[in-house]
Chain A
Amino acid sequence: MIFRNIFLTSLIFTSAAAFGSLPDHIGLVRGLCPTLSPLLVKKSALELSSSNACEAKFTGQILLSCKAIDCHTLVQSYKKNIQGRSGSVVGE
């Protein structure tokens, strides 16, 4: 069971980390707000594509519960890590 979980975790890390997208966004957010659950950050990421994302449900929860992060930082991280394309800048 333990070895299976380690195997699965390594597979996920291999595939998800290579493009530096959602995991990087989650890493940045949870780096500033360690108590936030990854699932909440992912749900917020779905909201961040809209212009009023910071008023949306899950993004609002993040901003309410963690003062270390603001709307601008969330949106910029989304633009860089999810909306933007890994490889657009050589060496990033």
Chain B
Amino acid sequence: MWLLPILIVGTTVALSIPFGRYLAKIMDGRYTPPAPLRWIEARLNTGPQNWKQYTFAIIWFNTVMFLFGYLVLAVQPWMPLNQKDAAFPDGKGMLSPTTIFNTVTSFMTNTNLQHYSGEQHLSYFSQLLFIVWNMFVSAAVGFCALAAVIRGLRGDAHMGNYYLDMWRVVVYAFVPASILAGVLLIACGMPMTLEPSAEVQTLEPAAMGTDSVDGKDVAKPQVIARGPVAAVLPIKHFGTNGGGFFGANSAHPYENPSAWTNFIECVSILIFPFSLVIMFGRMLNQMRHAVVIYSVMMVMFVGMIYWAVHHDSLKPNLAVTARAPVLDDKGKPFVVEAFEKGPDGTLKKVQKEMPPGGVVALPVDSEGWGNLEGKELRFGPSAGATFSAVTTAVTCGSVNCMHDSLNPLAGITPMTGMMLNCVFGGKGVGMINMLVYLIIGVFLAGLMVGRTPEYLGRKVEAREMKLAMLALLIHPILVLGPTGLFAAMDWGQQATNNPGAHGYSEILYEFTSASANNGSGFEGLGDTYGFNDDKKNLSTPAPFSPYWDIATGLVMLLSRFIPIIAPLALAASLGAKKKTPFTSGTLRTDTVTFGFVLLSVVILIGALLFLPALALGPIAEHYGPIPFGG
């Protein structure tokens, strides 16, 4: 049960230390590029940029990504590698414009919220040209932003060059890691092919239905989707993207064939966010401070894993233990045959009243079942809960179990990870978000002891606090505002898959995921339109999906760039100040005491902002009646 999370965390911590050192070398330019790459780097380096130039470069780059991505998806039906099979004899059609908008903004912002199903709606061309390209560069955007912030905090004359940083991250970090992981995943059974979907005749005749050919019924084949999966999966995790090749994401046996691939994928998800904290310390030459930050994040992360595994893998599904009595039409409890263990350990058939919740005692040991709903048992009992904590702490968003099926209290873990968004967080932006909490922490600590707050020897004044608050508050505004709106309107109420508090949780989760640029979902929510031509869709478009497409698209865009722009300005502002000498009165940021201050600030602010929303969702669901409110 606990071996899997311990192995995952332990392996990632061990790898993150040398990898963080390597990343610091790359981003500081302390390497000699091979001759052909040197020529390209010289062309990409348009010169040193201040914070405004760096930020403008980020936004321009993303504007081009938006237009390019929209074009690729819009012309999908006419492009090559649009494989034809029995399910799609003419290949994949054009997605609806709102789905394209949502998909483009989603991948551009590293969210990978998928209001579509990969194998149903995207051709191989779109997967390779749009998805893979976006996965590499969108992941690099946050990474570059962190490097620029570090240079600002260091007081460097400039923040570097965005295009050169982007090149370094993609070519020297993501590409080699993806090649290595891709080879390992193929060796573990992941498909890598450009062949169309496999078509097989089922053993049971016409199990998939029939087609009428020349007046005769002909059995339909089973269509098994496959494709260049191993090209997408490594960067899906290294870049904390999360967008799956298949709709079932890493619960699909081709995306996650075995317990070994599950382990590799979890480590892949965590390695960059963990290493970037080390990189932060190395580049700033403040390793003790980085260790404090790393430790604070680790305490929260381990707590999240423990909470999820305890409430989901060690507690049964709530429906099994629900207290609603099951009565016959005369108002008396049903009497059924059941099995009980006798004193000698053998099973005996007995007559007993049906237990509350309608579950008959089965002839198995029901102790330690955990919540099996929505889980892929081939990974082991705690894999689903562990993955849910991993993927939402670092804003990845891939899933190996259905988060909608988590026990209510266990569902708090993925929501908390996304709401705090600084428990390691996404590569680059997680550390940037923690920087915002750091600034607030030193500010509050400075107020408490009656000294001017300072961070890394530079005074934190009104301008820095305003920028920190802009970066901090945009996230809860974009989570809570749209959640309240959609929960009150038919757009949300008619889209939920469950009534009452669980339905509210689905809405809350969707906007939290969009705002945190995570991309996972309590799926079951009706947010998929699909192809613009309704006749090509295998399932009916959800009636309010355009509202979801547009609302979550806007949330993703705003929540991606505002928490990058404001901290870049903050870092530049701090770096431009004169450094104050270190004295005995300076608030140290590299001590255990400061670690507790930082931890308290994160938890208190997070609780103030989000506990009421959690109380209406998963907490109400846990304490409410079965079926959840109704």
Q: Do A and B come from one complex?
A: no
Binding site for B on A (CB under 8 A): none
Binding site for A on B (CB under 8 A): none
